[in-house]
Amino acid sequence: MSEFTDPHRPVPAEPDVDPTSGRGRAVLAHTQPFLLCMVAVGGAVGTAARYGLASAWPTATGHWPTATFVANLVGAGVLGALLEGLARRGPDSVGRQRARLLVGTGFCGALTTFSTLAVETDLLLRGHHIGLALAYAIASVVGGLALTSLGIAGAAGHHRYRMQRVAS
């Protein structure tokens, strides 16, 4: 395999088309009540997790916003692992689509929050905590990229391990 060959299967052109629609008719996932419920259930769990983090680590004025930082990093790692794991298992089947909507869109979408990151950074800047605000914003972006990469690497490693076990 050359260094320019992509070992992944191609991503579907429209990942939210319901593969169970039959006879070649495209049925968009957001028009399906069950799939909307999957997103809602994942969102409820993600919201509860974020609330739990905010309750455990309330942010005092002028201090590092730990709860939002942890929520965003965990969400980035989970999303990286989920999407890499699903992509390595093959085309977007019914089960993979449901997992992506439940965990990716629902849970991770509700757990993570760019808007709170922006507001907390702004509050730190307005409070003249410029170094802390810059460190928080930069650490959030770099940490998110790092955790996404770790999630991807972890899922890829798990896939290789599974394939080796099947082969032996």
Question: Would the CA dihedral through 112, 118, 123, 124 be positive or negative?
Answer: positive
Band of pLDDT at residue 125, cut at 50, 70 and 90 = very high
Q: Three-class SS of residue 118?
A: helix
Candidates 67, 34, 38; CA nearest to 53 is 67
Identify whether the C-beta of residue 109 lies closer than 8 Å to the C-beta of residue 43.
yes
Quickly tell me which residue has 């790692």 as its tokens: 77
Q: Which two tokens stand for residue 50?
A: 């974020």
pLDDT reported for residue 14:
53
pLDDT reported for residue 30:
73
* Segment 10-19, tens digit of pLDDT: 555 555 555 5
pLDDT reported for residue 168:
83
pLDDT reported for residue 18:
53
d(CA 20, CA 38): 16
Identify whether the C-beta of residue 71 lies closer than 8 Å to the C-beta of residue 137.
no
Given a cut of 90, whether residue 136 has pLDDT beyond it is yes
pLDDT reported for residue 44:
98
Q: Which two tokens stand for residue 56?
A: 């455990």
Distances (CA, A) of 59 to 54, 64, 143: 8, 7, 19
* Segment 17-51, tens digit of pLDDT: 555 555 555 567 778 899 999 999 999 999 999 99
* Segment 52-104, tens digit of pLDDT: 999 999 999 999 999 999 999 999 999 999 999 999 998 888 899 999 999 99
pLDDT reported for residue 46:
98
Given a cut of 60, whether residue 127 has pLDDT beyond it is yes
Spell out the domain ranges in the chain. Answer: 29-167
Quickly tell me which residue has 């004025």 as its tokens: 61
